[in-house]
Amino acid sequence: MAGMLRTLILALLLVPGPAPAADSGALKTAPRLESLQIEIWPEYDRPSALVILKGELAGDIALPAALALRIPASSGGPAAVAYAAAKTGPLLNLPYDRSAAAGFILLRFAVPGRFFHVEFYDPLATALPERIYKYLWPGDLPVGALQVVLQEPAAASGISVQPDLADASIGTDGLRYRAARLGPAPQGKALPIEIRYAKSDPRTSVEILKAAAPLSSPAPITSSEEREAFRLFMATAALALLAVGAGLVYFLWWRPRSRPQVAAAGGNFCAKCGHALAAGDRFCSKCGTARA
């Protein structure tokens, strides 16, 4: 009996215990963003909604930084994934991996610079004048300062946005923009954005702006080379005008004048100046020359 008990105890000791749980916190930890700007441009250059995600990594994040974020599966995938070393620096294409993730497309990429840029087109129903577009930021990354920007479609009216985007301005492209700074957004907190407006013109904003653009005027002279060439041209033109004017003055005032025509016969005109002589005149009454 004692031997059986020892065997049972030994067997219990040798049974492997439950494996330690994976560090779910480490799996969910994502690099912190200093800021994220979500821009939505409905019907800009396609009859769909262009969504642009512009992110800036926090200054203490080591580079390259591995990022994972989701975009709607309805988009079919990103139109662009890029990065930049500076906020206003040139964007460079960035390789990425994609996989399906329950209604989303999960993008994974490593960012070698502080700034990243993701674009995708999401379907937008345009059969009726009333338009509704909904986008959900899934909160994949912790954000220190979140901003949302809406580009209002050309020829649209009755625009409403949730959340409220109170700041309005006109962009250099002539379109109206609405924006709002929403403050920090922790990881895992989703942000739904809903846009409603009316638009009966089927053209995109780009097509409407192009049709309304005035005829192009000559481009202003900006570079030093262009200004120098323009000054040289004006100087050459001025010299040419002066030469033409001088030639005209010489022709009108200094060309040899033809001698007055003197009658070859009859003796009724002065042989020197051609003045008419009266009968019996021995000398010209004008210049005094003796009559021939």
pLDDT of residue 272: 73
Return the CA Rg of the chain.
Answer: 44
- 15 phi/psi in degrees, rounded to 5: -65, 125
Q: Which helix (H) or strand (E) holds 232?
A: helix 224-249
- Using the CB atoms, write b or e for 90-109: b if 16+ within 10 Å: eeeebebeeeeeeebbbbeb
pLDDT of residue 218: 55
**CA dihedral of 157, 163, 167, 172, whole degrees rounded to 10:** -60
Q: Determine contact, residues 139/155, Cβ cutoff 8 Å.
A: no
Q: Considering the entire predicted model, what is its pTM? A: 0.66
Low-confidence spans in the chain with pLDDT less than 70: 1-28, 215-230, 246-267, 269, 275, 277, 279-283, 288, 290-292
Residue carrying structure tokens 């010489």: 250
Domain ranges for the chain, please list them. Answer: 28-212
CATH of domain 28-212: 2.60.40.1730
pLDDT of residue 92: 97
